[in-house]
Amino acid sequence: MGLKQVTTVELLKKAGKLRVVVGTEPVLLGYHENQVYAISDRCPHMKASLFEGSYQDGVITCPKHHAQIDIKTGQIQEKAKLLFIKVPTKKAKTYQVTIKENKVYIEV
């Protein structure tokens, strides 16, 4: 698909996180430490929307099973839980972000 403009840095900075759809791909954008990051908006555990979860200090928490994902790398910080059992959780897909003239572009 190539490079697609999805928002502006100002809008994302105010919101903290945004959900955008590029083609058919839902993407979660996060603003952390003056940087913009993009990961799949689908939790790698059971595909719940990560946008619905809490976002703090560059970590998004899935609203369904509480997996915690580093938005910079897609790495799992805390595995998903079913009842009290932690289950294997794959790394989230990340996207390349480019900033040009205050506009945010992602490579999908």
pLDDT recorded at residue 65: 87
- Domain 3-107 CATH superfamily: Rieske [2Fe-2S] iron-sulphur domain (2.102.10.10)
Q: Where are the domains of the chain?
A: 3-107
Q: Rounded CA gap, 33 and 49, in Å?
A: 23
Mean pLDDT by 10 residues, the chain (108 residues): 90 96 93 96 89 95 92 91 75 95 92
Contacts of residue 11, Cβ cutoff 8 Å, sequence gap at least 6:
18
